[in-house]
Amino acid sequence: MNAEPLQLVGAVSIAALVLVLAETARADNMSDFYGNTVVCTYPNGEVTKVYVESGGRFTVVRGGQTIAGTWSDDGANVCYTETNPAPPAGSKPICLASKAWKVGDGWQVTNPKGDTCNAVLTAGHQ
């Protein structure tokens, strides 16, 4: 299988992750994500799961693929960088404004391809 499409899928997935968490908490509020799962369900039933860890790491699982990376929050913006698999050359971190979400909160997300999902911060690792 050609690795280039997988890298593109990884880049799209990391971008989707960032959009899923586009309004995530400031560094002092990120703890609401630790040990929990952002479950993003698309109209076709496809599900993306996002796990944000303390220490600045995240994982995205979608369609049997796992993408990992790092996040940082300066209090104004949270930035996500894909690290595994390696993103395409020239990729930059995706940075968005921070906002706190609590377990049980839900919001809509539109990924870079224009697909919309319903995201919910769900208790525990799903």
Confidence of residue 122 (pLDDT cuts 50, 70, 90): very high
Q: What is the CATH number of domain 3-122?
A: 2.40.128
- Are 93 and 79 in contact by the 8 Å Cβ rule? The answer is yes
- Are 87 and 10 in contact by the 8 Å Cβ rule? The answer is yes
The confidence score (pLDDT) of residue 57 equals 95
* Segment holding 57, helix H or strand E: strand 57-62
Domain map of the chain by residue range?
Answer: 3-122
The confidence score (pLDDT) of residue 45 equals 94
Q: Is the pLDDT of residue 24 over 50?
A: no
The confidence score (pLDDT) of residue 21 equals 56
**Within a 10 A sphere around the Cβ of 67, how many other Cβ atoms?**
25
Measured distance CA(41)–CA(45) in Å, rounded: 6
The confidence score (pLDDT) of residue 19 equals 52
pLDDT tens figures, 77-121: 778 899 999 988 888 887 766 778 899 999 887 765 678 889 899
pLDDT tens figures, 30-70: 788 899 999 999 999 999 999 999 889 999 898 889 999 99
The two three-digit tokens of residue 122, written as one number: 């769900």
**Within a 10 A sphere around the Cβ of 89, how many other Cβ atoms?**
6
Q: Omega of the bond prior to 87 within 30 degrees of 0, cis? A: no
- Are 83 and 10 in contact by the 8 Å Cβ rule? The answer is no
Strand-strand pairing, 65-73 and 57-62:
antiparallel
